A and B are shown apart, each in its own frame.
Chain A
Amino acid sequence: MGSIRVGRPQAKPDTPTHVRGLHQGNKGPYKEQSGHHADGTSDARRSTGIHSKRHDALIEEMPNISPG
Chain B
Amino acid sequence: MTTTESRPSGRRPAQIVDMSWDPITRIIGNLGIYTKIDFANREVVECRSTSSLFRGYSVFMKGKDPRDAGFITSRICGICGDNHTTCSNYAQQMAYGVKPPKLAEHITNLGEAAEYMFDHTIFQDNLVFVDFCEAMVKATNPGVLARAERTTAPRGDVHGFKTIADIMQAFNPFEGEVYKEALKVSRVTREMFCLMEGRHVHPSTLYPGGVGTMPQPNTFTDYLSRLMHVIDFVKKAVAMNDDVFDFFYEALPGYEEVGKRRILLGCWGAWQNPDVVDYRYANMNQWGRAMYVTPGIVVDGKLVTNNLVDINLGLRIMLGSSYYEDWVNEQPFVTHDPLGNPVDMRHPWNQTTVPVPQKRDFDGNYSWVMSPRWHHPETGEHLALDTGGGPLARLWTTALSGLVDTPYVKATGSSVRISLPKGESLPETTLEWHIPKWSNTIERDRARPYFVAYAAAMALQFLEEAMGMLRSGDTKVYENFEVPDEAIGCGFHEAVRGVLSHHLVIRDKKIANYHPYPPTPWNASPRDIYGTPGPYEDAVQGQPVFEENGPDDFKGVDIMRTVRSFDPCLPCGVHMYMGKGKTLSTVHSPTYGASHG
Contact = CB atoms under 8 A, between A and B. Distances in A.
Interface in A5-49: 6, 9, 11, 13, 26, 39-43, 46-47
Contacts of A40: 101, 474-477
Interface in B107-136: none
The residue in A3, A26, A46, A65 that gathers the most chain B C-beta atoms within 10 A of its C-beta is: A65
Contacts of A3: 325, 354
B352 A65 contact: no
Interface in B465-492: 470-471, 473-477, 480
Interface residues of B, dominant DSSP: loop
Contacts of B246: none
Interface residues of A, dominant DSSP: loop
Question: Chain A contact residues (Cβ within 8 angstroms of B): what range?
Answer: 20 to 34
Contacts of A13: 63-65, 510
Contacts of A39: 476
B470 A41 contact: no
A41 B325 contact: no
Given A3-B354, A65-B217, A68-B217, A41 B59 contact: no
A68 B216 contact: yes
Given A1-B62, A6-B59, A65 B470 contact: yes
The residue in B101, B355, B476 that gathers the most chain A C-beta atoms within 10 A of its C-beta is: B476
B60 interface: yes
A43 B327 CA distance: 55
A9 B218 CA distance: 44
Interface residues of B, number: 27
B480 A26 contact: yes
B469 to A, nearest CB: 10
A41 to B, nearest CB: 5
A66 B475 contact: yes
Contacts of A68: 214, 216-219
A55 B63 CA distance: 49
Contacts of A66: 216-217, 475
The residue in B101, B354, B473, B480 that gathers the most chain A C-beta atoms within 10 A of its C-beta is: B473
A41 B472 CA distance: 9
A58 interface: no
A67 B219 CA distance: 11
A65 B354 contact: no
A32 B286 CA distance: 42
B59 to A, nearest CB: 6
A50 interface: no
Nearest to A42: B475
Contacts of B473: 41-43, 64-65
B476 A41 contact: yes
Contacts of A11: 64
A23 to B, nearest CB: 15
Contacts of A67: 216-217
Contact of B354 (A4, A6, A26, A47): A4
A4 B355 contact: yes
A57 to B, nearest CB: 11
A42 to B, nearest CB: 4
Contacts of A1: 59, 62, 352, 354
A6 B60 contact: yes
A66 B215 CA distance: 9
A41 B475 contact: yes
23 contacts: A1-B62, A2-B327, A2-B330, A3-B325, A3-B354, A4-B59, A4-B354, A4-B355, A9-B63, A13-B63, A13-B510, A40-B474, A40-B475, A40-B476, A40-B477, A41-B473, A41-B474, A41-B475, A47-B216, A65-B216, A65-B473, A67-B217, A68-B216
Q: Across chains A and B, which 7 residue pairs bring their CB atoms closest together, nearest first? A: A40-B476, A68-B216, A2-B354, A42-B475, A41-B473, A66-B216, A68-B218
Given A3-B325, A6-B60, 13 more contacts: A1-B352, A11-B64, A13-B63, A13-B65, A40-B475, A40-B477, A42-B473, A46-B475, A47-B216, A65-B470, A66-B217, A67-B217, A68-B217
